[in-house]
Structure 1
Amino acid sequence: MRFALRGYFELSDVLSDDAVGGVRRFLGEIGDAVFKKGAPRGKEDEAARLISWDVRGNRFYVEVESGRYVRAHVAFVRLRNALAEFLGSRFGLGVRGSRVEEYVLEFELDREPLEPVNVLFAKDVRFDGRKVTILLEDLDDVALERNYPDRIIGRVREKVARQFVSGKGEFTRVVRRSNKGVERYVLKEDPTDLAIRFGWVKEYPATGVWQIMPPMAALIRAMEKLIVDEVAKPLGFQEVMMPRLIPLEVEYRKGHFGIANEIIWACPPVSRDPKDFEDLVDYVEITGGPPPAEFLREKLRPPLYGLSYAQCEPFYEMFHRETVDLDALEEEPIKFYDRNGPTYRWESGGVRGLERLNEFHRVEFVFLSTPRKCIEIRDSILERTERIVDEVFDLEYRVDATTAVYLEHAGKMEEEGGGDFVKTYDLTAILPFQTKSRPEAELEIASFHVHTDFYAKRFHFRDKKRRTVFTGCAGLGPSRFAYVFLVRYGFDFENWPNEIKKYIGEKLPEPPRMLTWPKG
């Protein structure tokens, strides 16, 4: 690795000849403390070194180079701080700020990239086999204090590493499969068209969003109640109502900017003053139609929130910078479940049926405790959910151990086999047909996670004795449960199992009837 920078420190005044001489002596005295401190013994030649310095007006220019240890930008900041202290105490001068004009970073990757990558803030990124050369320009104090250079290197490594994986399938292994087969399923094709024809759902002018009519609503609510009765209550989970507007700072801590392309963002109006919207109202009233999107955009602020993607984001924010007692949480873990309205994901053009939606319903389980207890809780939720899918739904299903989804969301990578326990399980229902949205004869209907201390670190909460705090979550989808249930049992209420009918009553609600709808 090689790092070479040119930059300057902005001084509060011009240095006198006496001050320049003092600085020369000072630099000779503090060299090792600034440039080599922290380098391993025997590796001092890979630490930073001051190549040159010069004073022009009230700017103190330097060139710094380094190898792997005490990288040039770290030494540059150390020198700025040491120089500020020296000039302040000896000559009454201060350092107002610093700037790196040019910074060249050279390092090697583990593997030659399949294709070049770019990264924000880099003027240029060049590849020569496994060797990478990055050119950065005009880095200010914020970029240096927040260590942009090392973060940029890490980002390039992550982007290249992701070229060699193909998503969940890369790290997925089958844990168990029910092997019941799908021959006894009532439906042999996607139920979406039948649901439309029978009036169970109605199309809506928004991608991946449906109007859920009384019979389908009754079925989805029955699934929700089943989950609460068979999973949440027996395991001691308490119901909470978590917000669905997620502020940008919470999205950041959750790691969701790694999936910004999948989040639906919320833009509040520029003001509450009707006068600011008078021309927009004029347009609508005069043209008799909605305004162009560009016209409306002028009336909106930039995004301030994301609509909840995972449902569990507010849970971790609840503990932001708080201290917990793991002795108490070992005996009585924090265990909540939430069903406070829909979850939102932007599936774009990949939604055609009822199985993959932009707006859907989930029951989210979240928990916080010791490592042992969190693994135990997660496994208990999985066990009880499997029992529903196997004994009540009578489905062919599969349980997979797969990539930790919270790392995927944050744009991070995980090596296969990392850790001594499975972080993520997916529960997938096997179908007798390919779904409308994807060419797959299966549908993931639930997932179960142990996050290790990933969110404890990102949200800065800790145990009073600084022991490792784990969290976990599980998402069970009543919408998808209803979908696979219809595939298995069909639309005839009389043929449904009593475990579901008891939540609905003696008969299924009827859809509204119009002269032109439904068609069936």
Structure 2
Amino acid sequence: MKFTLELDILFNKELPAEAHEKISEWLREAGETILLKGCPKNAIEEACRITEYKILNDRLHLKLESGRRVRAHVGLMRLWKFLAPRIGKEFKVGLKDVKVKKFLIEVELDRKPLKPVTLPFTEYVKFENGKAYLSLKDIDMTAFKKNYIDKLLTRLKEKIAAQYVTGKAALSRVVRESPPRLEKYKLRDDPTPLLLEKKWIKEYPLAGVWLILPPFTALIRAIESLVIDRIAKPMNFKEVLFPRLIPLEVEYRKGHIAIANEIWWVCRPKSRDPAFFEDVVDYAIITGTVPREKLMEKLEPPSCGLSYAQCEPFYQIFFKEVVDLDEEPIKFFDRFGPTWRYEAGGLKGIERLTEFYRIEFAWLSSPEKVIEIRDEILKRAEKILDKIFDVEYYVEATTPVYLEHAGMVEEKESKMEYVKTYDLVVKLPFQTKSRPEKILEIASFNVHEDFYAKRFYFKEKRNRPVWTGCVGIGPSRWAYIFIVRWGLDFDEWPKEIRKYIGEKLPKSPKLVTW
């Protein structure tokens, strides 16, 4: 690893002539002390070195070179802290800012990238002979103070590692499965056209969003009630109402900026004054269309996203808080409203939705209890599929979904013998309309370890490890596989579902034209 940094330290006023010699002395002293601090004697060549300097009236020009030990940007910050009080006290001159002329980095790679990599703050990222060569740009004092440089190098390695992950299939293994049951399924094809024909759903002018009408709504609510009665209540989960507007800082801490391409972003109006939107209103009334570009001009940049995972607010509850693991585990579930995911053109049937309804379970406790809670939820969910839904399914151990969302790849094995993420997958007798596969993932069961404790800065009163977990169960997707298995004849449905609905299904309205 090699760093070459050329820059000017700018003064807030001109130096007196006598300052030049003194600053030279201080630079020599720094090179023999603070720039070597923490570097082993057998690796001095890896420390930061001042290889060139020039003292001007209003600035100090420096060229810093280093290896991996005391890196050039770390050396710069040490120099700043070393020089600022001395120059200020002796000559009444302050250090104002830095102006980077050139910043080159050479770093060895464990893997050869499979395709080009782009990074912010870089003029170029080149690869040759097992190394990456970076030229940085737009680096200011904030970048040095907040250590953007080391974070950038970490991100480089993460992006290269991610190129070697080809998806869940490459990292998944089936851990158990139900007996074969496909021959029992009442429907042999996607139920979306049938649900449209029977007026259980109606198309809506937005891809992945449907009008869910009384019969299908009754089924979805019945499944929701079943899940709450069989999982949430006996496991003592408490119901909460989580917000669906997720501020940018929460999106960042959750790791969702890495999936910005899948999130619906929310923009506030620039003004609440009706006159500000008058031209938009006039145009719409006259033309019968909404002027999208003109409307966009009236909006602020995004301030939040629509909830993607539903559990984002759970971790925000504990932001910078201290918890007590001597208390009972904190266990919440939420069914307040829908979550949203942008799936572009991949939405054709009702099995994959832009707007969908889920029951989200989230909990916080010790490592052992977090794993125990996750496994118990999975056991109970399997029992519903096995004993009531009577579908063919399997459980697979797979890539931790929270790492996928954060754009990260797990490189090390856990010390504990357990699986971080299980997916519950139902087999179908047909390919879904949205994807060419005869399966449907219907729930994900996750142990996060201390991933969110670190990102949301919460700790335990005695510094014991704090872990979290989450499970999302979508009644709308469960209703889909229920219909495939049992059909639309209410009288043939299992009594465990019918009891939540009553003697018969509610009907959709009769219209002259539909």
TM range, smaller chain: over 0.9
What is aligned with 2:456?
Answer: 459
Q: CA deviation at 1:293?
A: 1.4
Q: Deviations over 1:6-58 (max 9, x none)?
A: 01111122222321111111222232332121223421211111101111231
What is aligned with 2:494?
Answer: 497
Give the 3 Å change call, closer, same or farther, for CA 235–349 of structure 1 in structure 2.
same
Q: Deviations over 1:214-252 (max 9, x none)?
A: 000000000100110000000000000000000111101
Amino acid at match of 1:152: L
- Structure 1 residue 484 corresponds to structure 2 residue 477: no
Which whole-Å CA distance do the structure 2 matches of 1:96 and 1:456 have between them?
Answer: 37
| Residue pairs, 1:206-245, within 5 angstroms | 206-245=206-245
What is aligned with 2:405?
Answer: 409
What is aligned with 1:51?
Answer: 51
Q: CA deviation at 1:467?
A: 1.4
Q: Deviations over 1:310-367 (max 9, x none)?
A: 0000010011111111122xxx110000000101000110000010000000000000
- Structure 1 residue 434 corresponds to structure 2 residue 431: yes
> Which structure 2 segments of 5+ residues have no match?
none
* Match of residue 338, structure 1, among 334, 337, 343: 334
The range that moved more, 461-470 or 217-226, is: 461-470
Say whether the 8 Å CA contact 1:171–1:416 is kept in structure 2. no
The alignment yields a C-alpha RMSD, in angstroms, of: 1.1
Q: Deviations over 1:280-331 (max 9, x none)?
A: 11111111x2222111101111111100000000010011111111122xxx
Q: CA deviation at 1:416?
A: 6.7
Q: Deviations over 1:185-238 (max 9, x none)?
A: 101111001000000000000010000000000000001001100000000000
Which whole-Å CA distance do the structure 1 matches of 2:365 and 2:371 have between them?
Answer: 9
What is aligned with 1:294?
Answer: 293
Q: Percent identity?
A: 54
- Structure 1 residue 469 corresponds to structure 2 residue 463: no
SS in 2 for 1:239: strand
| Residue pairs, 1:324-335, within 5 angstroms | 324-328=323-327, 332-335=328-331
Which whole-Å CA distance do the structure 2 matches of 1:140 and 1:77 have between them?
Answer: 12
Amino acid at match of 2:437: E
| Residue pairs, 1:41-440, within 5 angstroms | 41-287=41-287, 289-328=288-327, 332-415=328-411, 417-420=413-416, 421-440=418-437
Which whole-Å CA distance do the structure 1 matches of 2:425 and 2:172 have between them?
Answer: 12
Say whether the 8 Å CA contact 2:16–2:91 is kept in structure 1. no
Which whole-Å CA distance do the structure 1 matches of 2:235 and 2:125 have between them?
Answer: 52
Give the 3 Å change call, closer, same or farther, for CA 362–346 of structure 1 in structure 2.
same
The range that moved more, 418-427 or 370-379, is: 418-427
Say whether the 8 Å CA contact 1:200–1:214 is kept in structure 2. yes
Say whether the 8 Å CA contact 1:11–1:97 is kept in structure 2. yes
Q: Deviations over 1:360-413 (max 9, x none)?
A: 000000001111111111111111001001111001101011111111111111
SS in 2 for 1:327: coil
Say whether the 8 Å CA contact 1:451–1:472 is kept in structure 2. yes
Which whole-Å CA distance do the structure 1 matches of 2:146 and 2:23 have between them?
Answer: 27
- Report the TM-score when normalising by structure 2: 0.98
Q: Deviations over 1:146-172 (max 9, x none)?
A: 112112212221121111111212221
Q: Deviations over 1:85-104 (max 9, x none)?
A: 21122222211122322100
Q: CA deviation at 1:473?
A: 0.5
SS in 2 for 1:152: helix
Which whole-Å CA distance do the structure 1 matches of 2:175 and 2:40 have between them?
Answer: 44
Q: CA deviation at 1:418?
A: 3.7
Which whole-Å CA distance do the structure 1 matches of 2:44 and 2:89 have between them?
Answer: 30
Amino acid at match of 1:300: L
Which whole-Å CA distance do the structure 2 matches of 1:137 and 1:394 have between them?
Answer: 59
Which whole-Å CA distance do the structure 1 matches of 2:52 and 2:17 have between them?
Answer: 18
SS in 2 for 1:106: strand
SS in 2 for 1:24: helix
Say whether the 8 Å CA contact 1:237–1:335 is kept in structure 2. yes
**Count, aligned residues:** 513
Give the 3 Å change call, closer, same or farther, for CA 312–188 of structure 1 in structure 2.
same
Amino acid at match of 1:413: V
Amino acid at match of 2:366: T
Which whole-Å CA distance do the structure 1 matches of 2:420 and 2:351 have between them?
Answer: 25
